[in-house]
Amino acid sequence: MDFSTLPVAWANYLSIVGFLILAALVWLIPKKVIFTEAPDASRWRDMRLWASVLIIMQLMLYTLFD
């Protein structure tokens, strides 16, 4: 199959769907696992939040340059 003939918009939409799935998977990680070796359970140490922020930024780029 020659992927170069597919519209570029499809790749954009597939990437957006991939990021949304990734965001859902990130939040399936139990909080207990996130804070296993952390000195405290401060909200800013939750890697799920940071991952979500980065995913949102990526989604904004993909929707901006659609």
**24-35: per-residue pLDDT in tens?**
999 999 999 999
Residue 3 placed within a domain: no
Residue 18 placed within a domain: no
**What pLDDT score was predicted for residue 21?**
98
Using a cut of 0.85, tell me whether the model's pTM lies above it. no
Q: How many domains does the chain have?
A: 1
Phi, psi of 42 (to 5 degrees): -65, 145
**What pLDDT score was predicted for residue 7?**
85
Rounded CA-CA distance 14/36 in Å is: 34
Domain ranges, residue 61: 30-66
Span 55-62, average pLDDT:
94
Span 10-15, average pLDDT:
87
